[in-house]
């Protein structure tokens, strides 16, 4: 099966943007469209021109700026309003103005929604569909018809739901998409309805599927629909969408490619799944979901000490696919439950061989367990773990600098201005250095003061910058206070690394992570 016959349709930029907390700029949307095109999806639904000003602007800029290699851009819209003429509907005019070569028109297919929400007659709804699809086709557009609430509609009045589908095809729709808008379906129901519908329609019409995740079955429902003969799937990057979300397009693609053997993406698209997933999360300003199927950071991560020793024997016995197929890696987690085997494997990932160092390995295991019981987490902070291992292997890292003291001041002044200032006092060798810097916050000021203090001795640190900063408050165990865990991601342009600090004071926790980040960089060249 080739991608030319089967449609991979992405609606991250329209339906996916309904997710709580997401708000894309036009530049964000253009960046996501480029990523999806690199992945090789066939269709990118860019938004609803006319409904949102930023969507109108997106299509204007997309027509001029986007040079898509694989994907066709699709504008989303609705059928004309009841009792109006399609050529006079401003929303339909906005679709034309968008210059998008394809339209996806949403239509009601549940008769209850027609009468109660749309407040028109079932007959007029069919006329609206015929008119609007026909108009798009007459204007040279490729038209897809999204049948909203199709499965609920089919359950309530199957004849009417089928009439909607038939009207769409008769008017020239390229695909009629069955939408589980409320997300209430299970795979068995999707299989049954698609099978019955195909039998009623006869021939081989191209049906599509659009699932929401309200039963936690959106991916399964999508795959089941494909197994039942659907040739067009709609999903979103990382499953972003309203309520529990849409079908995660990446899990759908992983399943179709790796489980059903379908050739769903051109070239080596599948190998970009993990990268594109994380990049979209970054743009959406959401933390990537570590536990996401196929692409999550933990998707192939093994924790149990039990497994870790067996994995050395034959990794493929413990992974459902080779992680490299989707651009992901197997990881061994350093955790409280991990024993020596996990720590050795993890160190080997970093190019450090612990095989000949049983004493150091024992000390590392003890130290990791002790620190993790106090809230440190090395799972996300590979650089801090590497420093700890090197420290034990070498019986102490060289001390690049020694802190005497620091002081951070934040003031909200009488005029409303807020100022932050940090002073760091440290020693490099025998030389004592005092540096003071301002920043837009206490951690930024501390970071600046530390770099300034070290810059003359270690000029290579000038390339290092803070890429991300995360703070988490961890409730303490019984009878202990909460602690703050800080993760700092640093970059020197070529590489990124993450360090961790834990303390009941957020500034001190940040200090640990910031200092580790610079020491890690200094260790790499010495």
Which residues in the 113-152 window bind its own copies by CB under 8 A? Answer: 113, 116-117, 149
Strand-pair partners of 503: 484
Q: How far is the CB of 393 from its own copies (least distance, A)?
A: 25
Interaction of residue 322 with its own copies, rule CB under 8 A: no
**Tokens, residue 245:** 């979300």
Length of the chain: 526
Interaction of residue 479 with its own copies, rule CB under 8 A: no
Residues 292-321 that bind its own copies (CB under 8 A): 292-294, 296, 298-304, 310, 313-314, 317-321
CB within 8 Å of 314: residues ≥ 6 apart: none
Residues 63-92 that bind its own copies (CB under 8 A): none
| Number of residues binding to its own copies, judged by CB under 8 A | 109
**Tokens, residue 94:** 């906005």
Interaction of residue 389 with its own copies, rule CB under 8 A: no
CB-based burial of residue 51 (10 Å sphere; 0-12 exposed, 13-18 middle, 19+ buried)? Answer: middle
Q: Quick one: how far is CA 411 from the chain centroid? A: 37
Of 65, 411, 463, 496, the one binding its own copies by CB under 8 A: 411
SS3 labels along 202-261: CCCCCEEEEEECCCCCHHHHHHHHHHCCCCEEEEEHHHCCCCCCECEHHHHHHHHHHCCC
Residues 272-291 that bind its own copies (CB under 8 A): 285, 290-291
Interaction of residue 404 with its own copies, rule CB under 8 A: yes
**Tokens, residue 483:** 């602690």
Interaction of residue 199 with its own copies, rule CB under 8 A: no
Q: How far is the CB of 100 from its own copies (least distance, A)?
A: 20
Of 350, 402, 434, 471, the one binding its own copies by CB under 8 A: 471
Interaction of residue 405 with its own copies, rule CB under 8 A: yes
* From 4-12, 131-139, 332-340, 391-399, span contacting its own copies (CB under 8 A): 332-340
Of 84, 87, 139, 440, the one binding its own copies by CB under 8 A: 440
Long-range Cβ contacts of 265-269 (<8 Å, 24+ apart): 265/3, 265/8, 265/39, 265/40, 265/41, 266/3, 266/40, 266/70, 267/40, 269/38, 269/39, 269/40
Q: Which residues of 31-49 are buried (b: 16+ CB within 10 A; e: fewer)?
A: bbbbbbbbbbbbbbbbbbb
Of 70, 278, 451, 503, the one binding its own copies by CB under 8 A: 503
**Other Cβ atoms closer than 10 A to 314:** 8
- Classify strands 483-491 and 43-47 as parallel, antiparallel or unpaired: unpaired
Q: How far is the CB of 254 from its own copies (least distance, A)?
A: 7
Interaction of residue 201 with its own copies, rule CB under 8 A: no
Q: Which of 129, 106, 131 is nearest to 45 (CA)?
A: 106
**Other Cβ atoms closer than 10 A to 394:** 10
Q: How far is the CB of 307 from its own copies (least distance, A)?
A: 8
Q: How far is the CB of 336 from its own copies (least distance, A)?
A: 5
- Complex with its own copies: residue 38 or 180, whichever CB lies closer: 180
Interaction of residue 341 with its own copies, rule CB under 8 A: no
Contact pattern from residue 207 through residue 236 relative to its own copies, giving x for each residue in contact according to CB under 8 A and a dash for the rest:
------xxxxx-xxx-xx--x---------
Interaction of residue 493 with its own copies, rule CB under 8 A: no
Of 69, 200, 243, 495, the one binding its own copies by CB under 8 A: 243
Residues 173-192 that bind its own copies (CB under 8 A): 182-184, 186-188, 191
- Complex with its own copies: residue 171 or 311, whichever CB lies closer: 311
């Amino acid at each position: 099966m080739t991608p030319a016959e089967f449609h991979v349709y992405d609606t991250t930029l329209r339906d996916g943007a309904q997710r709580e907390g997401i708000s894309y700029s036009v530049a964000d949307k253009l960046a996501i469209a480029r990523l999806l095109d690199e992945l090789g999806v066939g269709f990118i639904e860019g938004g609803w021109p006319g409904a949102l000003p930023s969507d109108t602007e997106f299509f204007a800029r997309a027509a001029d700026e986007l040079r898509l290699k694989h994907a066709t851009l699709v504008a989303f819209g609705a059928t004309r309003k009841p009792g109006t003429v399609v050529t006079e509907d401003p929303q339909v005019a906005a679709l034309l103005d968008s210059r998008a070569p394809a339209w996806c028109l949403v239509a009601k297919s549940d008769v209850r929604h027609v009468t109660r929400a749309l407040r028109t007659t079932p007959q007029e709804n069919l006329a609206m569909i015929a008119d609007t699809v026909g108009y798009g086709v007459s204007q040279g557009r490729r038209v897809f018809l999204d049948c909203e609430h199709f499965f609920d509609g089919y359950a309530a009045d199957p004849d009417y739901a089928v009439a909607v589908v038939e009207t769409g095809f008769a008017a020239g729709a390229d695909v009629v998409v069955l939408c589980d808008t409320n997300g209430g379906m299970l795979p068995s129901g999707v299989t049954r309805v698609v099978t019955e519908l195909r039998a009623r329609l006869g021939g081989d019409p191209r049906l599509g599927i659009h699932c929401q995740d309200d039963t936690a079955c959106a991916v399964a429902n999508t795959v089941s629909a494909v197994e039942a003969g659907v040739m067009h799937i709609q999903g979103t990057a990382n499953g972003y969408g309203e309520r529990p979300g849409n079908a995660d397009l990446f899990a759908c693609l992983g399943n179709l490619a790796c489980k059903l053997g379908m050739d769903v993406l051109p070239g080596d698209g599948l190998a970009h799944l993990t990268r594109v997933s994380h990049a979209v999360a970054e743009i959406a300003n959401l933390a990537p979901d570590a536990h996401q199927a196929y692409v999550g950071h933990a998707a192939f991560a093994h924790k149990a000490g039990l497994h870790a020793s067996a994995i050395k024997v034959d990794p493929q016995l413990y992974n459902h696919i080779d992680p490299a197929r989707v651009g992901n890696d197997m990881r061994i987690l350093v955790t409280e439950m991990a024993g020596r085997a996990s720590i050795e494997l993890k160190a080997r990932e970093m190019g450090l061989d612990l095989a000949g160092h049983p004493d150091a390995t024992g000390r590392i295991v003890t130290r990791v367990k002790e620190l993790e019981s106090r809230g440190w987490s090395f799972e996300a902070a590979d650089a801090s773990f590497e420093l700890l291992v090197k420290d034990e292997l070498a019986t102490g890292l060289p001390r690049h600098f020694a802190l005497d003291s620091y002081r951070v001041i934040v003031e909200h002044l009488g005029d409303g201005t807020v100022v932050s200032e940090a002073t760091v006092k440290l020693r490099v060798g025998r030389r004592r250095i005092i540096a003071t810097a301002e920043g837009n916050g206490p951690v930024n000021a501390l970071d600046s003061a530390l770099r300034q203090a070290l810059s003359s001795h270690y000029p290579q640190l000038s390339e290092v910058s803070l890429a991300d900063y995360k703070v988490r408050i961890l409730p303490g165990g019984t009878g202990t206070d909460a602690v703050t865990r800080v993760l700092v991601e640093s970059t020197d342009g070529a590489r990124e690394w993450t360090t961790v600090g834990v303390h009941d004071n957020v500034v001190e926790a940040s200090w640990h992570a910031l200092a580790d980040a610079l020491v890690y960089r200094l260790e790499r060249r010495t």
